Amino acid sequence: MPSVKLVDIVKRFGTITAINRLSMEIPAGEYVCVLGPTGSGKTTLLKLIAGLTVPDEGEIYIDDKSVVGVPAEDRGAVYVPQQYALFPHLTVLQNVAFGPLSHGVSDEEALDTARAMLEMMKLDHRADSKPDELSGGMQQRVALARGLATKARLLVLDEPLGALDARLRVELRDKLRQLAKSSGVTVVHVTHDQAEATSIGDQIIVLRDGRIRQYATPFHVYMRPQSLFVAHFVGDANFLQAIVAKRHPEGSILELHGGLLVKVQDSTYLPGEEVVLVIREDNVKIVESDDQIDSNLYNVVEGHIQSSRFLGGFVSEQMHLVNGDSLTSKTPTTAREKTFPAGKQVFACFKASDTMVYSYPPIGLSRELRVM
Ligand SMILES: Nc1ncnc2c1ncn2[C@@H]1O[C@H](COP(=O)(O)OP(=O)(O)OP(=O)(O)O)[C@@H](O)[C@H]1O
Ligand SMILES: [Mg+2]
């Protein structure tokens, strides 16, 4: 169970700084998920940890030993790449057994391990196929089985479930975590999928432009995002421009466009400061009449429905508020007997305790929230 520590790492490709003065520590046995927009440096970070690329600056330690220049196998690490490269001339079973064989175990033991991993990946029935006879998702599972079969103590996984359908992805992500926890390995797992990161990560790293924007438990990243960007990237939220109108020790009053006043719990900012009010979509309730709601507990804002979308487990409704702002609400389908038609007059309700407030970004809100 190795621990991993990066200190002041810089990795450049020509004029691009892929990793920019990044420091972090992963305790032994932890399952860490890395989230971030495309090009934010996720793959580069994994390659640095696994020993497939060397940093321009900084130090990397595994179990407190400096490993810069030490190859992956001597770090006890295995890297499962984003673009899985299987050996085309070997069968699926031989591909998976290759990992343990190259670590010097007997043929019999390697094949037993390979069969167990293929069973876990639900591919035991394709053990004798060649990789090019498999679908993309199947090939990805073979690559993952091959990585797991090495029994490396440090697993470095780059979008290991990215090519799978939603149902299989959920099943395998849970199995991956169980396997990691029962065999006591340390895992760094890159994913584009927030739900994957929040459901299996002990901790989540949010990366942007080669820097860590937050490194915390899934609960903290979701409930206490450290920045507007993290609030935007993890979970669906509304972002409304505002000015602090009044400030009390127990909260503030914000003025939105058109003079609309709302109560928030935050009291960090001073009257007159430009801020951004953030409300998670699932914290916005829509009601037909304002006597259905306790206005001491909720901010109640009039508006009309712009559009409704049925998302399976959720209904997503876009509202146009009286002050000209837009607000989206996400309600569990079970909590809703009907969706509201476009144009219907309704009230959006949200609690002061469910709001988050951030300083208005100097580069502007849309640039701050960009994910490309
Ligand atoms: N070998 C390379 N040569 C030149 N530039 C590179 C190389 N590898 C990565 N980069 C650049 O470094 C930055 C980070 O790339 P990286 O592959 O780490 O991003 P990523 O977060 O994994 O993105 P994605 O989600 O698309 O996989 C990008 O701007 C990329 O173009
Ligand atoms: Mg990548």
CA of 106 to the centre of ligand 2 (A): 34
Please answer whether residues 182 and 223 qualify as being in contact, where contact means their C-beta atoms are separated by less than 8 angstroms: no
- The predicted structure's pLDDT at residue 295: 85
Q: What is the number of the ligand closest to the CA of 37?
A: 1
pTM value surpassing 0.85: yes
**How far lies 63's CA from each of 1, 51, 343, 366, in Å?**
9, 14, 61, 41
- Tell the residue nearest (CA) to atom 7 of ligand 1: 13
- The predicted structure's pLDDT at residue 86: 92
- Tell the residue nearest (CA) to atom 31 of ligand 1: 39
- Tell the residue nearest (CA) to atom 29 of ligand 1: 39
Q: Nearest Cα to 68, choosing from 84, 86, 80, 56?
A: 56
Give the position, in ligand 1's atom list, of the atom nearest the Cα of 159.
27
Please answer whether residues 71 and 77 qualify as being in contact, where contact means their C-beta atoms are separated by less than 8 angstroms: no
pLDDT tens for the chain, 372 residues long, are: 789 999 999 999 999 999 999 999 999 999 999 999 999 999 999 999 999 999 999 999 999 899 998 888 788 899 998 877 899 999 999 999 998 888 788 999 999 999 999 999 899 999 999 999 999 889 989 999 998 898 889 999 999 988 888 888 998 899 899 989 998 899 999 998 999 999 999 999 999 999 999 999 999 999 999 999 999 999 999 999 999 999 998 899 999 999 999 999 999 999 999 999 999 999 999 999 888 888 888 999 999 999 999 888 899 999 999 999 999 999 998 877 778 899 999 999 999 999 999 999 999 999 999 887
Q: Nearest Cα to 195, choosing from 218, 179, 217, 223?
A: 218
Give the DSSP letter of residue 144: H
Strand partners, 309: 316
Would you say how long the chain is, in residues? 372
Ligand 1 pocket check for 235: Cβ under 6 Å: no
CA of 344 to the centre of ligand 1 (A): 47
Cα Rg for the chain, rounded, in angstroms?
A: 24
Tell me the angle at which helices 166-183 and 136-149 cross, rounded to the nearest 10 degrees.
0
Probe target for ligand 1 pocket from 10, 11, 12, 16, with the most ligand atoms within 8 Å of CB: 16
Ligand 1 pocket check for 18: Cβ under 6 Å: yes
Regarding beta strands 154-158 and 77-80, do their DSSP bridges make them parallel or antiparallel, or are they unpaired?
Answer: parallel
Probe target for ligand 1 pocket from 9, 11, 13, 54, with the most ligand atoms within 8 Å of CB: 13
Which secondary structure element, helix H or strand E, spans residue 188, and what is its range? strand 186-190
Q: Nearest Cα to 265, choosing from 357, 361, 360?
A: 357
Ligand 1 pocket check for 34: Cβ under 6 Å: no
- The predicted structure's pLDDT at residue 67: 94
DSSP labels for 198-262?
HHH-SEEEEEETTEEEEEE-HHHHHHS-SSHHHHHHSS-EEEEEEEEEEEETTEEEEEEGGG-EE
**How far lies 80's CA from each of 102, 107, 128, 164, 365, in Å?**
16, 22, 22, 15, 36
Q: Please give the domain boundaries of the chain with CATH numbers for all domains.
A: 4-230 (3.40.50.300), 237-369 (2.40.50.100)
Torsion 361-367-369-372 (CA) sign: negative
- The predicted structure's pLDDT at residue 274: 98
- The predicted structure's pLDDT at residue 110: 94
Q: What is the number of the ligand closest to the CA of 193?
A: 1
- The predicted structure's pLDDT at residue 223: 93
**How far lies 337's CA from each of 321, 322, 340, in Å?**
23, 25, 10
- The predicted structure's pLDDT at residue 99: 82
**How far lies 79's CA from each of 46, 86, 263, 286, in Å?**
8, 13, 49, 47
Ligand 1 pocket check for 81: Cβ under 6 Å: no
Ligand 1 pocket check for 15: Cβ under 6 Å: no
Which residue matches tokens 């394709």?
A: 126
- The predicted structure's pLDDT at residue 238: 98
